[in-house]
Every structure is written in C-alpha cells, then in structure tokens.
C-alpha cells in the first residue's frame, strides 16, 4: 500500500490546492534527487489525487485539477488527477444533486484503494473542510478515514484561525484520524508577533506541530514559462520555510 498525506483545510479557499501543488513539487524534486543518487529513475515520484472538485471542469485554468498539475509539474493528466467534477461551486453533495446525479460512494472508495495500491506515494486534496458533505451520508472526514492517510491541515493566518484550526483538530481526533501537522497559509508578513502567538496557541491546545508558514500568494501564473518560474520560486520557499524533513517522513 502507498504512503502519503491527505490534505484538508479549516475552510474553503484557504489555499489547499496551492499548498498541495507546491508540496508535491518540492517532494518530487527531493525524491528524484534521492533516486538519481541511487541510480534509480521514476517517471512520477508521486501521484496527486483530487477525488471531487466542484465549480469547474478539467481544462479550466480555475479548476483545482489544472492548478495542481501546473503548480506541481507532476506528469499526469487531469483525468488521472480528478475523479468527479461538478459544475456548481457548492459542497459536492449539493453540487451533485443540482446536476441530477449522485457521487457513488463505494466507487469513490474503490478508486482511493486503487490509487493507494498503484502508487508508492500519494497526495490527496480533499474538498473544502473536513466535515464538508460528499454525499447525503458521508463527509470528507469519512473518505480520509477510509484511506488511512495522515491529515495535513491547511489554515489561514488571519484572526479567527486558532478557533477554526482547533475545531478541525478536535473533529479529526473524534473520528480517529491521525494528524501529521498544520500548515499556515497566506501570511502577509505584517505582524510576526501575532503569527508566533498563533503558532504557540495551536501547538499548545491542539498538541500538533505547525510545520511551517506560507507567505501570501501574489500573482497567478499564466504561461508555461511563468508556471515553471513560479514552481522554482515556491520550491525555494518551501525548503526555507516549511519543515520538509518531517513532511517527507510520511512518504
């Protein structure tokens, strides 16, 4: 069975897709360098999976599946990356209902099991937060539990994030989910004291490590050349600001 992480957020629009893509880029580079030193070459050192996306379709530059692949540089297709795409920008259960369809839960679980069996390293990006309904009976947390991968929680840096993050941690623990850590995203760089206090509170009350802080994303790339430059820049940021050795231990 494969190793990896299940990435969730404290809310929607916390930057899970960007964080997942740049972590994948940095991890893939590390794995490739290690393998090269061992005389081993893998076409794809890790695999990305977005089980369900809503509000866009593959090929749309706004789609999570598009951004995951452009941001990470991982060589797989959008069709290999996302299993279900829904038009309405809603929780998957409601987006599917509006489309007159259902998310087949057992098929989704089977696809997750196939991914785990097929790829030695897997990064999964959930939809919205941990308790977002995927079907009328199951949430993102249920999918994470079924896959058995540790959670990496992405949270904002602004006021209110301590409460949101601790609630997510509590919900995860109530469901028996293992938590790898927390990543804070979108720090504007204007109050280091408040940031350090936020980290202290999350670590003390949540008993989980804050594994790093991502700065605020300035501008989204457009061309392939811009994406490549963006990727290189963010790999450097990851290596300097994120505790990648600890994250890599889950691979």
Q: Quote the CA–CA distance of 168 and 171 in Å, as a whole number.
A: 5
Q: Is 236 annotated as a binding residue?
A: no
Q: Is 72 annotated as a binding residue?
A: no
Q: Residue written as tokens 């997750």?
A: 112
Q: Is 150 annotated as a binding residue?
A: no
Phi, psi at residue 57, to the nearest 5°? -125, 160
- Catalytic residue from among 3, 16, 50, 87: 50
Q: Is 64 annotated as a binding residue?
A: yes
Q: Is 217 annotated as a binding residue?
A: yes
Q: Is 39 annotated as a binding residue?
A: no
Instruction: Assess contact for 227 and 199: CB atoms under 8 A.
Output: no
Q: Quote the CA–CA distance of 48 and 108 in Å, as a whole number.
A: 15
Q: Is 128 annotated as a binding residue?
A: yes
Angular region, 102: left φ>0, alpha ψ -120 to 50, beta rest: beta
Give yes or no: 87 in active site: no
DSSP-derived secondary structure for 88-148: SSS-HHHHHHHTT----HHHHHHHHHHHHHH-SEEEEEEEEETT-BSSSS-BHHHHHHHHT
CA dihedral 240, 221, 5, 187 (to 10 degrees): 50
Number of H helices, E strands in the chain: 10, 7
Report strand pairing: 82-86 vs 210-215: unpaired
For the chain, the residue count is: 251
Both tokens of 157, joined, read: 């840096």
Q: Quote the CA–CA distance of 230 and 173 in Å, as a whole number.
A: 36
Residue set of the binding site:
17, 54, 64, 125-128, 215-217, 219
Just list the catalytic residues.
50
Residue set of the binding site for ATP:
64, 125-128, 215-217, 219
Residue set of the binding site for substrate:
54
Residue set of the binding site for Mg(2+):
17, 64, 125
């Amino acid at each position: 069975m494969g190793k990896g992480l299940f990435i969730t957020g404290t809310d929607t629009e916390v930057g899970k897709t960007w964080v997942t893509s740049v972590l994948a880029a940095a991890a893939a580079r590390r794995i490739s360098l290690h393998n090269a030193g061992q005389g081993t070459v893998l076409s794809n050192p890790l695999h990305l999976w977005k089980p369900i996306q809503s509000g866009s379709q593959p090929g749309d530059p706004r789609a999570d599946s598009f951004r995951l692949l452009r941001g990470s540089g991982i060589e797989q297709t959008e069709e290999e990356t996302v299993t279900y795409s829904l038009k309405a920008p809603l929780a998957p259960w409601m987006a599917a209902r509006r489309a007159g369809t259902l998310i087949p839960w057992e098929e989704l679980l089977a696809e997750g099991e196939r991914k785990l069996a097929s790829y030695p390293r897997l990064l999964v990006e959930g939809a919205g937060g941990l308790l977002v309904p995927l079907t009328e009976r199951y949430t993102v947390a249920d999918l994470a539990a079924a896959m058995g991968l540790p959670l990496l929680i992405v949270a904002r840096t602004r006021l209110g994030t301590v409460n949101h993050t601790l609630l997510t941690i509590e919900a995860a623990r109530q469901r028996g989910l293992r938590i790898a850590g927390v990543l804070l995203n979108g720090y504007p760089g204007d109050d280091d004291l408040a940031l350090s206090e936020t980290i202290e509170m999350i670590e003390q009350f949540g008993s989980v490590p804050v594994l790093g802080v991502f700065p605020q994303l300035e501008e989204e790339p457009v061309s392939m050349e811009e994406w490549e430059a963006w990727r290189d820049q963010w790999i450097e940021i990851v290596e300097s600001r994120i505790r990648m050795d600890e994250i890599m231990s889950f691979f």
